Chains A and B, each alone.
Chain A
Amino acid sequence: MSSFILRRLLLAIPTLFGVLVVAFLLLYVAPGDPVQSMIGERADSATITRLRAQLHLDDPLPVRFGHYVGSVVRGDLGRSYITNRPITQDIRERFPKTMQLAGAAMLLASFLGISLGILSARNPGGFADRFALGLAYLGISFPVYWVGLLLILLFAVTLHWLPPSGYGGLRFLILPALTLGMRSIAFLARMTRSAMLEALNADFVRTARAKGLTEWTVTVRHALRNAMIPVITVLGLDFGAYLTGSILTETIFSWPGIGRYVVNAISRRDLPAIQGTVLFLSTVFVLVNLITDLAYAKADPRVSYR
């Protein structure tokens, strides 16, 4: 097991290096000058030339890349061209907030999604099943911004139950988490339903019932556990996606997370900020995938890693 983890972590290094190369090259070919973003629209060419030299923007590409990789290896992601703050500090500030939102969305999604899926599978074609199906259709087809704005209108503007936007306690978390998690709820409900249907018709479930176990134990302990593999896959992928920033949700709800940070950095051509965040978020994604793989083994004893 531990050698498996170690191997996966080592394998992550070339992946991350690849990410770094691509991010670097893409920014290099993308039009738009970071220095012009730094100093606004009205500029004089002497200042532009001086700043370009100070930021080493005129050095050959391999030299720039070498410098960058060198400092990354030393754990230094550099400073933002625009704010002059260290990128690591910016990430430290924003990422926990994104994690909070992603965590809340996943919690909501796994609870609601899996429950709905189980209910549907228990009685296919019944009321719960049709309700869950309807909900899943809506969840998958409604775009995030639409749902987000509607939720704000209903719960904040009209009912005054929750704040429309901003960052703070639990009250601020509910609407964005629901908005973000909606797609996962829908997906998980459908995924759990089909996996559960299969499991509930399996021989071991009949055996469990024949042993005289309660329906609850049969469903949750025996069937659900066997149905978990595809569900974990969806959970892992979605969680990875949410952790890497949910731009639309963060924008609509003024949530000060990493998604908005990246978008701002991109529009300002803030190269160190973009590269640093891309690298950091790729690492997060790799780690979440690793954890997902480990969770398979936990759910299904037949899966084992060596």
Chain B
Amino acid sequence: MAAGWEGGQQRARAVASSIIRPFVRSAVLPSVWLFLACGSPGATSRNTLVDSRDIYDPRSLDPALSTDVPTGRAVGYLFDGLTRFDPEAKVEPALAERWDVTPDGKTYTFHLRRGVRFHDGTPFVAKHVVHSWQRVLDPAVKGGRGEPLYPIIGAREYAAGTAKSINGLSAPNDSTIVTQLTEPLAFFPKLLAMPVAAIVPLNPPPNFDEHPVGTGPWKLVEWKHDDYLLFSRFDAYYGGAPKADSLRARIIAEPSTAVAEFESGNVDVLQIPAGEASEWEADESRKSLLMSTPALQLVYVAINTTRGPLTDARVRQAINHAIDVARINERLISGRGTLAAGVIPPALAGYDSARQPYRYDPARAKELLAAAGHPNGIDIELWTSTNPIFLRIAETIQAYLNASGIRTKIVQRESAAARGAARKGQTDLFIKDWYADYPDAENFLYPLLYSGNAGVGGNVSFYSNPAYDRVVTEARRELDEAKRNMLYRQADSIAFQDAPMVFMYFYNELYAVQPWVKGFVPPVIFNGQRWLNVSIRHDPRP
């Protein structure tokens, strides 16, 4: 769902913000800070944790339909998978207490936790796993997000409606699940922590999406569409009940409104928009509220390697050399980015800290262009969605490219239209981001650049290099961690040389957290924070 997440974020920001934000930035914000100096509340009398991060209504609370960030987060509160992520995005046991893998890497045996109960008291057993996963893949559910389960033998056939059961999935007894994979896949346990693989009761009723029953730490109290979701603590949670009584996830479409709610003390956690980070960091009274985390998000410009002069790697390298990414990072996103020299984020194994990003060098860019047979430059189109940050980055890139003889025309389309065009291969350059589904380098290397994923699979560079494909395929199968990480690094290096994209930056998210909130750790991955250890402190701080 990688960029399902990404697409969602981008979409909602584009919708609400593209209309409002430019004005907010130029006119309202300065006055905001002026006004706000008048006072921040020092304590709260609430007992409910309030989150403000959802910018649109979850699609559903049914894990089988989970494709966007608000849905994925809520599913994480209500349900458990066999595994889960902690805030640092480490995979840890959840409904599976532990698991073994055969030496060939193809058979995983999950030993399930005993004594776990659903919110309605039903004991959790192995057949729930089988049923849940069949349901996700069932064509009648129209979810379409069964991909994390595709590695299991027979899963694809079941999803296509050509098989009656999933051959590679069995429950030999109430507390064991055996999965046989079509090929070794070292990060399989990580896939099972994705919301779509969460475990639901047998035969969920038709209104399950609004009245979910799971084994997760929170129960749903009510869901007011486009307004909020209210959860209460599930006291019998096997991992120990959450510290707070209840949790309210508010849906606030406009970031400036979320800021106002934070300033009024009505919400506890705020995700600060990229363009506003420096204003928060510069404010002494606010600095102490800030928390930063390296989100697994890559912002890049896909270069379609099958179009005109862009088929030549030298031209693509020239484009990389022509853009001063460091300056863009500093000026447009308050330096919140870590410059990219490949697609693997620094937070993940396989990242190569020794590899340096493309140097900003317009002279070198012109040389490369001339060497590729374009001494008089080239003409290209740079596509962008209405996301305000992307639009400003696109304008800056345009200026840099024009200066190096790469005459660039910006094409701006609404997100769904821009994405559609890129998938069909109609874009030269397309600025976008990618937010990881699961914390593994593979989740960047494989969808973004593997030739088999060209187009709808996520590779909108249409990059195809057999050497790269081979290394990535080998890495996916490699069970030895050190070897796998080496292969990841090697693949990343090949892609970096071939430059099927402008490597921009990995975004480090900035959060503001109220002083009365205890125990909140900003999550590296969207479903990594389930508010178990977060509480509200009522005694005023000294």
Binding site for B on A (CB under 8 A): 30-33, 35-48, 50-51, 54, 82-85, 90, 93-94, 143, 145-146, 149-150, 152-154, 156-158, 160, 163-167, 247-248, 251-254, 256-257, 260-261, 263-264, 267-269
Beyond A37-B416, A38-B144, A41-B458, whether A261 also contacts B226 by CB under 8 A is: yes
> Which B residue's beta carbon lies closest to that of A47?
B144
Give B24's nearest chain A residue, CB to CB.
A149
B1 A40 Cβ-Cβ under 8 A: yes
The reply on B285 being an interface residue by CB < 8 A is: no
Give bound CA distance, A268 to B67, whole Å.
12
User: Are A54's CB and B139's CB within 8 A?
Assistant: yes
Which of chain A's residues have a CB closer than 8 A to the CB of B147?
42, 44, 47
- Contact of B47 with A by CB under 8 A: no
Contact B2 A267 (CB under 8 A): no
Whether the pair A41, B414 counts as a contact (CB closer than 8 A) is no
Q: A39-B145, A41-B1, A54-B142 known; 9 other A-B pairs, CB under 8 Å?
A: A31-B417, A42-B453, A42-B457, A44-B147, A45-B456, A50-B139, A163-B264, A251-B16, A256-B225
What residues of B have a CB within 8 angstroms of the CB of A39 in the complex?
A: 4, 67, 143-145
**CB < 8 Å neighbour of A253 from B2, B11, B257, B414:** B257
Q: Does B373 contact A (CB under 8 A)?
A: no
Q: How far is the CA of A33 from the CA of B455 in the complex (A)?
A: 13
Q: Chain B residues near A38 (CB, 8 Å)?
A: 67, 142, 144
| Per-position binary interface string of chain B over residues 1-37, scored 1 when its CB falls under 8 Å from any chain A CB and 0 otherwise | 1111111100110111001100110011001100110
- The answer, among B38, B142, B253, for a CB contact under 8 Å with A260, is B253
Within the assembled complex, what's the spacing in Å between the Cα atoms of A44 and B28?
Answer: 44
- Cβ of B39: which chain A residues have Cβ within 8 Å of it? 158
Contact between A158 and B227, CB atoms less than 8 A apart:
no
Select one of A37, A90, A263 contacting B225, CB under 8 A.
A90
Looking at chain B's contact residues, the main secondary structure is: helix
Stretch at the interface among B55-63, B121-129, B523-531: B55-63
Specify which of B12, B23, B60, B257 is in contact with A83 (CB 8 Å cutoff). B60
Give A34 to B68 CA distance when docked, in angstroms.
15
Contacting residues of chain B (128-147) with chain A, CB-CB under 8 angstroms: 139, 142-147
Is B419 part of the binding interface, using a Cβ–Cβ cutoff of 8 Å? Answer: yes
Q: Nearest chain A CB to B299's CB is how many angstroms away?
A: 14
With A43-B456, A251-B16 known as contacts, the answer to whether A153 contacts B253 (CB < 8 A) is no
**Complex: how many Å from CA A247 to CA B455?**
33
Q: Check A157 against B413 for contact (C-beta < 8 Å).
A: no
9 A-B residue pairs with Cβ-Cβ distance under 8 Å, sorted by A, are A36-B423, A36-B456, A40-B3, A40-B7, A42-B447, A43-B456, A82-B59, A165-B252, A267-B414
Contacts of A152 in B (CB 8 A): 257, 260
- The yes or no answer to B266 lying at the interface (CB within 8 A) is yes
Residue of A33, A90, A94, A269 contacting most chain B CB atoms (<10 Å)? A33
A145 and B67 within 8 A (CB): no
Which 10 pairs show the lowest CB-CB distances between chains A and B? A40-B4, A41-B3, A32-B416, A256-B226, A39-B144, A31-B417, A40-B67, A164-B260, A256-B227, A40-B1
Assembly CA distance A210 to B209 (angstroms): 71
Chain A residues with Cβ below 8 Å from B56 are 264
Contact check, A154 vs B35: say whether CB atoms are below 8 A apart.
Answer: yes
Report A-chain residues with C-beta under 8 Å of the C-beta of B413. Answer: 31
Given contacts A41-B458, A256-B227, contact A165 B257 (CB under 8 A): yes
Would B225 and A43 count as touching, CB distance under 8 A? Answer: no
B residues contacting the other copy or chain, number (CB 8 A): 79
Q: How far is the CB of B236 from chain A (nearest CB, A)?
A: 30
CB distance from B276 to the nearest CB of A (A): 14
Q: Which of A37, A94, A261, A263 counts the most B-chain CB atoms under 10 A from its CB? A: A37
B219 within 8 A of A: no
Q: Does B482 contact A (CB under 8 A)?
A: no
> What B residues does A46 contact at CB under 8 A?
156, 159-160
Interface hits, B69-128 → A, CB 8 Å: none
Given contacts A31-B416, A51-B142, contact A145 B457 (CB under 8 A): no
What's the least CB distance linking A143 to chain B, in Å? Answer: 7
Chain B residue with minimal CB distance to A38? B144
* Set of chain A residues within 8 Å of B415, measured between Cβ atoms: 267
A269 to B15, CA, bound (A): 13
Within 8 A of A (CB), among B387-443: 413-417, 419-421, 423, 437
CA distance A51 to B261 in the complex (A): 40
Min Cβ gap B488→A in Å is 19
For A54, the chain B residues whose CB sits under 8 A away are 139, 142
A40–B195 CA distance with the chains assembled, in angstroms: 13
At the interface, yes or no: B251 with Cβ under 8 Å from chain A? yes
- Tell me whether B447 and A32 are in contact (CB under 8 A): no
A251 touches B20 (CB 8 A): yes
Q: Which residues does chain B contribute within 8 Å of A253, judged by CB atoms?
A: 257
Which residue in A42, A158, A254 is a CB contact (below 8 Å) of B253?
A: A254
Tell yes or no: B489 within 8 A of A by CB.
no
With a cutoff of 8 Å between Cβ atoms, the chain A residues found around residue B146 in the complex are 47
Say whether B27 contacts A252, CB under 8 Å: no
